[in-house]
Chain A
Amino acid sequence: EAQVTQNPRYLITVTGKKLTVTCSQNMNHEYMSWYRQDPGLGLRQIYYSMNVEVTDKGDVPEGYKVSRKEKRNFPLILESPSPNQTSLYFCASNPSGRADEKLFFGSGTQLSVL
């Protein structure tokens, strides 16, 4: 089944403890992206990647890192999480990053930073 898989679905952590949210897609997509969703703000893009080793900042990249060493994986790294990074995170992908292609979303990761 074609899908974008995020892990974990829920995560509670403490301020300053490094964490990684994984994202993997099995559709051979070139384009992958991370969004965060906050109440009253909708979804905002954090980072995106057009291909292996090619990443770029979205609208809210501060406090986050990403890497794209393999086409299928696009992990989101929080080196020193803070409470304002408590949010619902979505990974998404599509074949080549074109606007007319369907964007496939993962199931989301609810992160709480205490």
Chain B
Amino acid sequence: AQTVTQSQPEMSVQEAETVTLSCTYDTSESDYYLFWYKQPPSRQMILVIRQEAYKQQNATENRFSVNFQKAAKSFSLKISDSQLGDAAMYFCAYRSRSGYALNFGKGTSLLVTP
């Protein structure tokens, strides 16, 4: 089974600053998708950004962008101009094109300070 590793259990950032959350994964497949999900205290799972492995270009969604390094199997999330509403648990997830499950990392809790 594919494994997803988030090595930072907790991170802290000041409002308006930039923070990067790390994620690495292990797979022998070449065709897959990577995701970042946000889980605020409401517990809702919110898709932040998605990356297709065969696309070289890094995905961006407003203040959120990724650094996808396929050879290194690394998929970090950068949050620019951090806002108080960004405080949440962030999960990195992997899914192969042929599989039926999202494989999640253990999560990184992001604290945003004023």
Contact = CB atoms under 8 A, between A and B. Distances in A.
B3 to A, nearest CB: 11
Give the interface SS of chain A, mostly helix, strand, loop or mixed.
Answer: strand
Interface string A71-111: 00000000000000000101010000101101101011010
Nearest to A38: B106
B77 to A, nearest CB: 15
A45 B101 contact: yes
Contacts, number: 54
Contact of B101 (A48, A50, A88, A105): A48
Nearest to B35: A103
A71 to B, nearest CB: 17
> Could you say which of A35, A42, A88, A102 has the most chain B C-beta atoms within 10 Å of its C-beta?
A42
A45 B102 contact: yes
Given A99-B32, A99-B96, A44 B104 contact: yes
Nearest to A100: B33
> Could you say which of A33, A43, A58, A108 has the most chain B C-beta atoms within 10 Å of its C-beta?
A43
Interface residues of B, number: 24
B1 interface: yes
A100 B97 CA distance: 8
Nearest to A105: B45
Interface string B67-85: 0000000000000000000
Nearest to A109: B43
Given A45-B100, A99-B33, A100-B97, 5 more contacts: A31-B100, A42-B104, A58-B101, A105-B44, A108-B43
Q: Which 9 A-B pairs have the closest CB atoms?
A: A42-B104, A105-B45, A45-B101, A43-B104, A108-B43, A99-B95, A42-B106, A99-B97, A99-B33
